[in-house]
Amino acid sequence: MKKSIKLTVVASIVALSATMFSATSAKAADCGDYSQFGKLSGQTVKIFAGIRDPEATVMTKIFAHFTACTGIKIAYEGTDQFETLLPVRVKGGNAPDIAIIPQPGLVATMVATGKAVPVSAKVLANINKYYNPAWKSFTTVDGKVYGAPFGASSKSLVWYSPAQFKKLGVTIPTTWAQMDAIAAKFKAAGVTPWCAGIESGAATGWPSTDWIEEMALRELGPDKYNMWWQGKLKFSSPEMQGVMAKVQAWVGTQAQVGNLQSVATRKFQDAGVPGLKDGTCGMLQQASFYSSMFPAGTTFGADKDANAFYLPPTNTKFGNPIEGAGEFPVAFNSNVATQRVTDYLSSPVYATERAKAGGWTSANSGVPLSAYTDPVLKVVAQSLQAKKGAIVFDASDLMPTAVNGAFWKEMTKFYAEGKSMKDVAAAIDANW
């Protein structure tokens, strides 16, 4: 997840309980797709990640089917301090068997410890068969691949209330100017145009880094976007200062998001709920996984409770490339049981069952689109599964861990303390 709390699910838990398998109830007839992973009783594989409840409960119920069919137990531990604790555990000789890492930059950091191991031949085959080649590049270090995508999301969505749009007399915008006009109409109606919240525990600030990334991708294009996260284009450069100024005008003023200090302390999960529904704010820029933040029973679609549209381009020269994000299971040993679990996690088997549970998407093209019942997530999944076309990863997650952390903290200071974008940029650049 970006960062340690992505891809959670709320609405599907009740429905899921009737369909998920337990380690004792899975029948032999249910194990056909699992035969490829073999049998290995008496082995336990420890997985460590930042995925917490309610998503952790959904995930472990699906793991139970794998255990029933293979005999391999999966012991899962989740924490909101994942990015801090994982390096400590690895360096202290207490690495998990598998860590599900949401930042390619942190993957590279773990590879540098000498403890992470490259993917198995089966995982590599799954990556080559089921994923856009861009996904493999995100965890390739010195020519070796260290992880296949687990969950994946599109970062470039804007959530809204169809009822509020209808009341305002507007339709889904296809240009940035049209979206600005809608924001102005919300403001004139006494509604804060943009919902915003960036509090996220140890990862506070990450939603605001997404806004910088979305603008950089649209204004500068994929090539310069990649130069930026590689450190070849500094935050203090004229190009990035122009990007940051545009973000400030978009979601960095009281007129657009309300009190800036409140943005810094409002939980990101609460940014658009219940504001979109009750009409206290108009639109929320947030990733596809935000669908899981809506209350149980929420329906999605153009005439439903909530819907989303693709964030429009600012520069038609670059079209609308996809900014994606996701998590990557990285192994810290080559034990047979560990390899079989990573084989499973990279296959369509886990991803298909998880997609059916709702509130989650995968870039695995082996997952049938019929597995997605949410119309918004089905469209997102279709774009993520594309074998061709430009897909860039969340830039801050690709940056070195120290730079990524500084990016979160300094953007938080912009909202909480009124620090200028110029000073924010200089402070981040100092961590390269």
Q: Are residues 35 and 107 in the same domain?
A: yes
**Model pTM score:** 0.73
82-123 pLDDT, tens digit per residue, is 999 999 999 999 999 999 999 888 999 999 999 999 999 999
pLDDT of amino acid 369: 95
Q: Are residues 411 and 382 in the same domain?
A: no
How many helices and strands (H and E) does the chain possess?
A: 19, 13
Q: In what order do the strands lie in the sheet with 98-101?
A: 73-78, 44-49, 98-101, 328-331
Q: Are residues 167 and 258 in the same domain?
A: yes
pLDDT of amino acid 389: 66
**Beta bridge partners of residue 417, listed in sequence order:** none
pLDDT > 80? residue 304: yes
pLDDT > 50? residue 23: no
Q: What's the CATH code of the domain at 288? A: 3.40.190.10
Q: Are residues 114 and 159 in the same domain?
A: no
pLDDT band at 196 (very low <50, low <70, confident <90, very high): very high
Average pLDDT, the chain: 90
pLDDT > 50? residue 26: no
**Are β-strands 140-141 and 144-145 bridged in parallel, bridged antiparallel, or unpaired?**
antiparallel
Q: Are residues 367 and 417 in the same domain?
A: no
CB of 205 closer than 8 Å to CB of 260: no
Q: Are residues 159 and 73 in the same domain?
A: no
| Amino acid in the structure at residue 173 | P
pLDDT of amino acid 317: 85
Give the H/E segment covering residue 84: helix 82-91
Q: Are residues 229 and 185 in the same domain?
A: yes
Does 168 fall in a domain? yes
Percentage of residues in the chain having pLDDT higher than 90: 75
Does 48 fall in a domain? yes
Q: Is 423 exposed, middle or buried (0-12, 13-18, 19+ CB in 10 A)?
A: middle
Does 375 fall in a domain? yes
Q: What's the structural domain count of the chain?
A: 2
Q: Are residues 289 and 200 in the same domain?
A: yes
Does 8 fall in a domain? no
pLDDT of amino acid 29: 45
CB of 286 closer than 8 Å to CB of 376: no
Nearest to 377 by CA among 289, 296, 295: 289
Q: Are residues 251 and 312 in the same domain?
A: yes
Does 1 fall in a domain? no
Does 5 fall in a domain? no
Q: Are residues 68 and 165 in the same domain?
A: no
pLDDT > 50? residue 7: no
Q: Is 347 exposed, middle or buried (0-12, 13-18, 19+ CB in 10 A)?
A: buried
Does 6 fall in a domain? no
258-301 pLDDT, tens digit per residue, is 999 999 999 999 999 999 999 999 999 999 889 888 988 899 99
Domain residue limits at 256: 155-320+400-429
pLDDT of amino acid 19: 37
Lowest mean pLDDT among 67-76, 180-189, 376-385: 376-385
pLDDT > 70? residue 176: yes
Does 204 fall in a domain? yes
Sign of torsion over alpha carbons 355, 360, 362, 368: positive
Q: Are residues 75 and 88 in the same domain?
A: yes
Residues in Cβ contact with 389 at an 8 Å cutoff, skipping those fewer than 6 apart = 132, 321, 322
CB atoms within 10 A of CB 217: 29
- The mean pLDDT value for 334-338 works out to 98
pLDDT of amino acid 323: 87
Q: Are residues 364 and 417 in the same domain?
A: no
